[in-house]
């Protein structure tokens, strides 16, 4: 069964950058484990979409869900989770959504 989430082009690019940075800094095994954790978090968010923190300060309907050093930003559209961005916790989400 396909996942009940989709990645925006920006979120897909975020994940590619995270994987590459992780591989460069920590090695391939760590990069794979971190990517697996990110995708497991996506599955959890899809299972419990209302559990995320409301982030209407960024954009109406946006929620956030922390995962290790990153934060998933998403909204629910037609019963499906659409991930808008995956940002490092130190990044300013206002700039990403501005």
pTM for this model (two decimals): 0.92
> pLDDT per residue over 20-61, tens digit each?
999 999 999 999 999 999 999 999 999 999 999 999 999 999
pLDDT, position 79: 87
Joined tokens for residue 60: 């109406």
Q: Which domains does the chain have, with CATH numbers?
A: 5-97 (3.30.2310.20)
pLDDT, position 98: 81
| Structural Rg of the chain based on CA atoms | 13
The 3-class SS string of the chain reads: CCCCEEECHHHHHHHHHHHHHHHHHHCHHHHHHHHHHHHHHHHHHHHCHHHCEECCCCCCCCEEEEECCEEEEEEEECCEEEEEEEEECCCCHHHHHC
């Amino acid at each position: 069964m396909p996942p009940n989430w989709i990645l925006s082009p920006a979120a897909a690019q975020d994940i590619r950058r995270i994987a590459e940075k992780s591989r460069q800094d920590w090695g391939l095994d760590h990069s794979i484990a971190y990517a697996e954790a990110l995708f497991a978090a996506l599955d959890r968010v899809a299972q419990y979409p209302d559990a995320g923190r409301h982030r209407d300060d960024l954009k109406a309907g946006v929620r956030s869900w922390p995962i290790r050093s990153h934060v998933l930003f998403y909204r629910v559209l037609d019963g499906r989770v659409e991930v808008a961005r995956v940002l490092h916790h130190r990044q300013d989400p206002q700039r990403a959504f501005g």
